[in-house]
Structure 1
Amino acid sequence: MRSATLLVSAGVLLTLMGSNQRSSRSAVRALRLPTAAAHAHGSASVKGTKGVQQTGTVADVVTAANAFLATLSTAQQATVLQTFNATNVVKWSNFPIAGYNGRIGIRLDALTAAQRTAAMAVVQAATGTAANEGFDEIQQIRTADDYLVSTGSSSTTFGSNIYFIAFLGTPSTTGTWMLQCGGHHSATNITFGGGAVTGASPKFEGVEPLTFNAPNSNVLPAGTPCAPQAQEQAGMLAMISGLTTAQQTSARLTQTFNDLVVGPQKDGLFPATRVGLQCNQLTAAQKQLVVDAMAPWVKDVDDATGQQLLAYYQSQIDNTYIAYSGTGAFNAISDYVRIDGPNVWIEFVVQRGAEYPTQIHYHTLYRDRARDYGGNFYGSYTTVLGTKPSTNATVFTAYPNPVASGQGIDVVLAQTSKSATYQLRNEIGQTVANGTFSGIKTKVPTKGLAAGLYLLTVQPSGEQPVTTRLTLQ
Structure 2
Amino acid sequence: MKKSLLFFAFICCIFHSAFSQKNSSQSSLDATKAFLATLNPEQLATVSYPYDSEERSNWYYIPKERNGLWLKSMNEIQRKAAIEILKSTLSEQGKDKAIAIMQLEIILKEIENVIPESDRRNPLKYYFTVFGTPSATSTWGWRIEGHHLSLNFTSQNNKVISGTPLFMGTNPAIVPSGNQKGYQILKDETNLGFELLASLSEGQKKKAIFSEDPFFDILSANCPKPQPVVYKGIGFDELNDDQQKKLMKIVALYVKNYPLGFADEFMRKIEKAGLNKLRFAWSGEQKNTGKGNYYCIQNDVLLIEYDNTQNNANHVHSVVRDLTNDFGEDFLRKHYQKEHSKN
Interval containing the TM-score (normalised by the shorter chain): 0.7 to 0.9
Superimposed CA distance per residue, residues 247-275 of structure 1 (whole angstroms, 9 cap, x where no aligned partner): 111111136411111111x1324147561
**How far 1:189 moved relative to its partner?**
0.7
Q: Give the whole-Å Cα distance in 2 for the aligned partners of 1:63 and 1:137.
A: 22
Structure 1, unaligned stretches of length 5 or more?
14-31, 34-56, 216-221, 380-473
8 Å CA contact 2:210, 2:231 repeated in 1 = no
- Residue in 2 that maps onto 1:136: 96
- Residue in 1 that maps onto 2:37: 70
Q: Give the whole-Å Cα distance in 2 for the aligned partners of 1:375 and 1:292.
A: 28
Among 153, 159, 165, the residue aligned to 2:114: 153
- Residue in 1 that maps onto 2:301: 343
Structure 1 letter corresponding to 2:329: G
1:94-105 aligned at under 5 Å gives the runs 94-97=61-64, 101=65, 103-105=66-68
Structure 1 letter corresponding to 2:202: T
1:23-34 aligned at under 5 Å gives the runs 33=23
8 Å CA contact 2:228, 2:323 repeated in 1 = no
8 Å CA contact 1:143, 1:214 repeated in 2 = no
- Residue in 2 that maps onto 1:296: 253
Q: Give the whole-Å Cα distance in 2 for the aligned partners of 1:251 and 1:163.
A: 37
**How far 1:225 moved relative to its partner?**
8.2
Q: Give the whole-Å Cα distance in 2 for the aligned partners of 1:165 and 1:214.
A: 32
Root mean square deviation of aligned Cα: 2.9
1:262-281 aligned at under 5 Å gives the runs 262-264=220-222, 266-271=223-228, 273=230, 275-281=232-238
Q: Give the whole-Å Cα distance in 1 for the aligned partners of 2:62 and 2:245.
A: 33
Change (3 A) 1:175 1:138: same
Higher helix share: 2
1:428-467 aligned at under 5 Å gives the runs none
8 Å CA contact 1:123, 1:135 repeated in 2 = yes
- Residue in 1 that maps onto 2:160: 197
1:226-305 aligned at under 5 Å gives the runs 226-254=183-211, 256-264=214-222, 266-271=223-228, 273=230, 275-305=232-262
- Residue in 2 that maps onto 1:362: 316
Structure 1 letter corresponding to 2:210: L
Higher strand share: 1
**How far 1:282 moved relative to its partner?**
1.4
Query: Aligned with 1:253: secondary structure?
Result: strand
Greater relative contact order (Cα 8 A, min sep 6): structure 1 or 2?
Answer: 2
Structure 2 letter corresponding to 1:69: L
- Residue in 2 that maps onto 1:89: 56
- Point out the structure with max Rg over C-alpha: 1
**TM-score, structure 2 as length reference:** 0.83
- Residue in 1 that maps onto 2:47: 80
Structure 1 letter corresponding to 2:70: R
Q: Give the whole-Å Cα distance in 2 for the aligned partners of 1:308 and 1:275.
A: 25
Q: Give the whole-Å Cα distance in 2 for the aligned partners of 1:308 and 1:331.
A: 37
Q: Give the whole-Å Cα distance in 1 for the aligned partners of 2:177 and 2:134.
A: 33
Which deviates the most, 190-199 or 328-337? 328-337
Q: Give the whole-Å Cα distance in 2 for the aligned partners of 1:203 and 1:113.
A: 27
Count of residues in Structure 1 that have an aligned counterpart in Structure 2: 317
8 Å CA contact 1:326, 1:335 repeated in 2 = yes
Change (3 A) 1:9 1:127: same
Structure 1 letter corresponding to 2:326: D
